Amino acid sequence: MNKAFTKESDADADDDDGSGGTAPALPAGSKNYITPEGYARLRDELLHLMDEERPKVVEAVHWAAKNGDRSENGDYLYGKKRLREIDRRIRFLGKRLEIAEITDPSVHHGRDQVFFGATVRYADEAGDERSVTILGIDEAESAKSQVSWISPIARALLKAREGDVVKLVTPGGAHEVEILSVSYPAPRTAAS
Task: Quote the number of domains for the chain.
Answer: 2
The answer to whether 150 and 137 have CB atoms below 8 angstroms apart is: yes
Same domain, 111 and 174: yes
Q: Phi-psi bin for 161: left (phi > 0), alpha (psi -120 to 50), beta?
A: beta
Q: Which of 167, 137, 158 is nearest to 19 (CA)?
A: 137
Task: Choose the weakest-confidence range: 7-11, 35-39, 53-57.
Answer: 7-11
Exposure letters 129-164 (e unless 16+ CB within 10 A, then b): eeebbbbbbbbbeeeeebbbbbbebbbbbbebebeb
pLDDT in tens, 90-131: 999 999 999 999 999 999 988 999 999 999 999 999 999 999
Q: Which of 60, 106, 67 is nearest to 81 (CA)?
A: 60
Q: Which range of residues forms the domain containing residue 121?
A: 105-183
Same domain, 89 and 120: no
Same domain, 80 and 146: no
Average pLDDT of span 29-34: 83
The answer to whether 121 and 145 have CB atoms below 8 angstroms apart is: no
